[in-house]
Chain A
Amino acid sequence: MTSLTLNEVVADYGKGRVLGPLSLTLSPGEHVALVGKSGAGKSTLLDLMYTHWRHQNAALIPQQLGLVDTLSTFHNVYMGGLSRHSTCHNLITLARPFRRDVADISPLLERLEIADTCWNRAGELSGGQRQRVAAARVLYQAGSVLLADEPVSSLDGPQAASVMAALTDTYATAVLAMHDVELALRFCDRVIGIHQGTIALDQPSRRLTTRDVLPLYES
């Protein structure tokens, strides 16, 4: 896989500039944590990355998760693989899933501890369960790079860690917007700090401690 780059990108909202201009390069095999205050531009940067890299099979966990409430957990996860199957296969699956696909998806659900909700509609699930469904979807998608916006924000400690482990195991290359700095340092090897729409910090995480990141959240 070639490296992923953004070159002097900007994002405007209305008349004001929300982000940029900024450039960054992502090397294959890198797990990058995006940190910064809310409103600093993390989600906007992720959106920009997705627009630029979508065609290279980027997988996305948006902040709103993008689940279809009327479909079951299984179908929501299966949506990660829609482009791998024929239209006909997809339409039949909507009415009656194939045993092979269920067998593929069940281990993912078990790993994320949501196997018991496999046939429940996504609209009936709790916030934490929904977040894990979205995670299972990108695991099943197995794209080239993962772009995730606060993928574990509604999960408690051990669960958050296990979902982070699953995501970083499956995706060699990933950009994850995080607000939990400790978790970010533990699972990512590079930290990019965003402040007022620009890159304020870009360091390998082994050189950083929680205290180095905290200034980003002040003022």
Chain B
Amino acid sequence: MWQSASIRLSLAFVVVALGCLLYADFQISTANPWQELARLALGLVTPDLSAVDYLGQAVVRTLAFAFVGVTLGAVSGFLLALCFRHALVRGGCAFIRAIHELFWALLFLQCFGLHPLTGVLAIALPYAGIFAKVYAEILDEADPGPAHALPHGCRSLSGLAYTRLSQAWPHLVSYTAYRLECGLRSSAVLGFIGMPTLGYYLESSFAQGHYSSVGALLLIFYVMIATLKLWARPRLLPFYLVAAPFLLGSGLPIAWSNITRFVTQDIVPLPLRSGEGMAGLGAWLGDLLANQALPGIINTLLLTQIALVLTGALALVLFPLVSRHFTTRLSGSAGHLVLVILRSTPEYLLAFILLQLLGPSMLPAVVALAIHNGGIIGHLVGQRSNTLTLRPDAPNGIARYAYEMVPRLYGPFLALLFYRWEIIMRETAILGILGVATLGFFIDSAIQEIRIDSALVLILITALLNLGIDSLARRLRARLRLRYSASRQGC
């Protein structure tokens, strides 16, 4: 067992995570967390739809932002995918998707204010980066044979449409539909920074202690995602796409002077603005790095490693719930329901709720990350297990789990976990906005104090950290020869 490189690597990760635990801040600071939890549970079973003003409007806005943002992202991502061979395009896409949509939203908020453009761009931009990468991978997997047999003189657009595009079409559609679900989550979460979507109403209901309206909003959110396949029919899509831009609401008008100020003043480092020159810039940057970036990076890394290991552990426990080798038809359906709820709750929303219940520390963040990501990986590993066929006299129960399933599934499991490593880190950074002292916390504080220049530097550092983890994970996957189809890894 110790000869296996995957096992040794996994153990190393566990040891690192245990080490991180020593330095992490885990405490429950609310006076009575159980009472809070009971009130929330009561709210969930007694949802009060009438208690939320403008509920219908919140739902429509959430859908509209998701549709417009994802459509713009998909179209520009597709165009970028066509020239993905260029290093500049590849690098640019890696960079824009390394920055979480909430950070984009915080930046755009400074430019466009509470105009719908802020929310739309915050979704469209990082999604374009992701779409470009995955679309390019899907197009590359198409068989080159038909393109080779094309008659000479055929226009490149016709050739592309009939060969690579036609072959890749079903995969492109299913991935885009899947991303629409991610877009709904992103759209809802944008409410937490002021967009008129579900998150906005959720935050204010929590603030006022209206747990019945919290329950109603959460249930509506789950129903919206669970019924996505029923109403997002291909025939209806053109109608939605035409209607969506008109349903974004008008928000507040854009002040063009803000945009000019943002570009010419806000993002220029303070020492340069006040004419202190390069010496001042060095001191400013040193101070920023030592007092904000460094603690932010350390906390982000600590939290990421703990959450990663907990995610893995949870996924290994959860996957039998949706595996036909462990469940009957009835218990399998119940298992599916549990995992759907776990993975379709955005980690930001989960962390927000847990933070209300447990008070500010790293604990709510770790639990939220592990639940959301563990649900996704558990689901995918469970699906993979359903493709395995066991011999008729295979053992049952724990022996089946330990001898038949886990050894066969450990490779794909680890591949998925490494794919999510970068995603978990991006989410860890963002949870700082809720008050955990990760990079997001320092970025959010800088923006609150209108130190946009500092915020921008910190966002760049976050992006570089994500790119670093991404390339480390890719190297580990390559060394252990772990592969998993890139187009279905969850948001």
Decide if A83 is an interface residue (CB 8 Å cutoff): yes
Residue among B147, B157, B158, B169 facing the most chain A CB atoms (10 A cut-off): B158
Decide if A214 is an interface residue (CB 8 Å cutoff): no
Bitwise interface map of B from 146 to 177 toward A, beta carbon under 8 Å scored 1, else 0: 11111111110111011100110110000000
- In the complex, A87→B159 CA distance in Å? 9
Contacts of A110 in B (CB 8 A): none
- B162 touches which of A54, A62, A75, A86 (Cβ 8 Å): A75
- Whether A70 lies near B167 (C-beta < 8 A) is yes
- In the complex, A79→B162 CA distance in Å? 7
Residue of A nearest to B157 (CB): A87
Contacts of A70 in B (CB 8 A): 166-167, 169-170
Residue among B146, B148, B149, B169 facing the most chain A CB atoms (10 A cut-off): B149
Residue of B nearest to A65 (CB): B145
- Whether B162 lies near A55 (C-beta < 8 A) is no
Interface members, chain A 57-103 (any B CB < 8 Å): 57-62, 64-71, 75, 79-87, 90-91, 94
- Whether B158 lies near A82 (C-beta < 8 A) is yes
Q: Quote the shortest CB–CB distance from A73 to chain B (angstroms).
A: 13
- Whether B151 lies near A57 (C-beta < 8 A) is yes
Decide if A143 is an interface residue (CB 8 Å cutoff): yes
- In the complex, A71→B167 CA distance in Å? 8
Contacts of A205 in B (CB 8 A): none
- Whether A79 lies near B161 (C-beta < 8 A) is no
Interface members, chain A 9-64 (any B CB < 8 Å): 54-62, 64
- Whether A71 lies near B153 (C-beta < 8 A) is no
- In the complex, A91→B155 CA distance in Å? 11
- Whether A90 lies near B151 (C-beta < 8 A) is no
Bitwise interface map of A from 116 to 160 toward B, beta carbon under 8 Å scored 1, else 0: 000000000000000000100100010100000000000000000
Given A69-B167, A83-B155, A60 and B148 contact (CB-CB distance below 8 Å): yes
- B146 touches which of A56, A79, A85, A86 (Cβ 8 Å): A79
- Whether B162 lies near A82 (C-beta < 8 A) is yes
- Whether B161 lies near A90 (C-beta < 8 A) is yes
Given A64-B145, A66-B145, A71 and B158 contact (CB-CB distance below 8 Å): no
Given A67-B146, A90-B158, A59 and B166 contact (CB-CB distance below 8 Å): no
Given A58-B152, A141-B151, A68 and B158 contact (CB-CB distance below 8 Å): no
Give the contact-size bracket for chain A: 20 to 34
Q: Quote the shortest CB–CB distance from A62 to chain B (angstroms).
A: 6
Contacts of B147 in A (CB 8 A): 66
Bitwise interface map of B from 313 to 336 toward A, beta carbon under 8 Å scored 1, else 0: 000000000000000000000000
Contacts of A61 in B (CB 8 A): 149
Contacts of A134 in B (CB 8 A): 149
Given A68-B162, A71-B166, A94-B161, A62 and B148 contact (CB-CB distance below 8 Å): yes
Q: Quote the shortest CB–CB distance from B160 to chain A (angstroms).
A: 10
- B150 touches which of A64, A67, A69, A82 (Cβ 8 Å): A82
Q: Quote the shortest CB–CB distance from A101 to chain B (angstroms).
A: 13
Residue of B nearest to A143 (CB): B151
- Whether B162 lies near A90 (C-beta < 8 A) is yes
Q: Quote the shortest CB–CB distance from B148 to chain A (angstroms).
A: 6
- A68 touches which of B151, B154, B155, B163 (Cβ 8 Å): B163
- In the complex, A57→B155 CA distance in Å? 14
- Whether A87 lies near B149 (C-beta < 8 A) is no
Q: Quote the shortest CB–CB distance from B138 to chain A (angstroms).
A: 13
- Whether B148 lies near A66 (C-beta < 8 A) is yes
Contacts of B146 in A (CB 8 A): 66-68, 79
- In the complex, A5→B150 CA distance in Å? 22
- Whether B151 lies near A81 (C-beta < 8 A) is yes
- In the complex, A64→B146 CA distance in Å? 9
Contacts of B155 in A (CB 8 A): 82-83, 86-87, 90
- Whether A57 lies near B145 (C-beta < 8 A) is no
Residue of A nearest to B156 (CB): A87
- In the complex, A87→B162 CA distance in Å? 11
Contacts of A67 in B (CB 8 A): 145-146
Contacts of A87 in B (CB 8 A): 155, 157-158
Bitwise interface map of A from 145 to 182 toward B, beta carbon under 8 Å scored 1, else 0: 00000000000000000000000000000000000000
- B154 touches which of A64, A71, A83 (Cβ 8 Å): A83
Contacts of A66 in B (CB 8 A): 145-149
Which 6 A-B pairs give the minimum distances between C-beta atoms? A66-B149, A90-B158, A83-B153, A66-B145, A83-B154, A82-B154
User: 17 A-B contacts, Cβ less than 8 Å apart?
Assistant: A61-B149, A62-B148, A62-B149, A65-B145, A67-B146, A68-B146, A68-B163, A68-B166, A70-B167, A71-B166, A79-B162, A82-B155, A82-B159, A83-B151, A83-B152, A87-B155, A94-B166
Give the A-binding residues of B (Cβ under 8 A): 143, 145-155, 157-159, 161-163, 166-167, 169-170
Give the B-binding residues of A (Cβ under 8 A): 54-62, 64-71, 75, 79-87, 90-91, 94, 134, 137, 141, 143
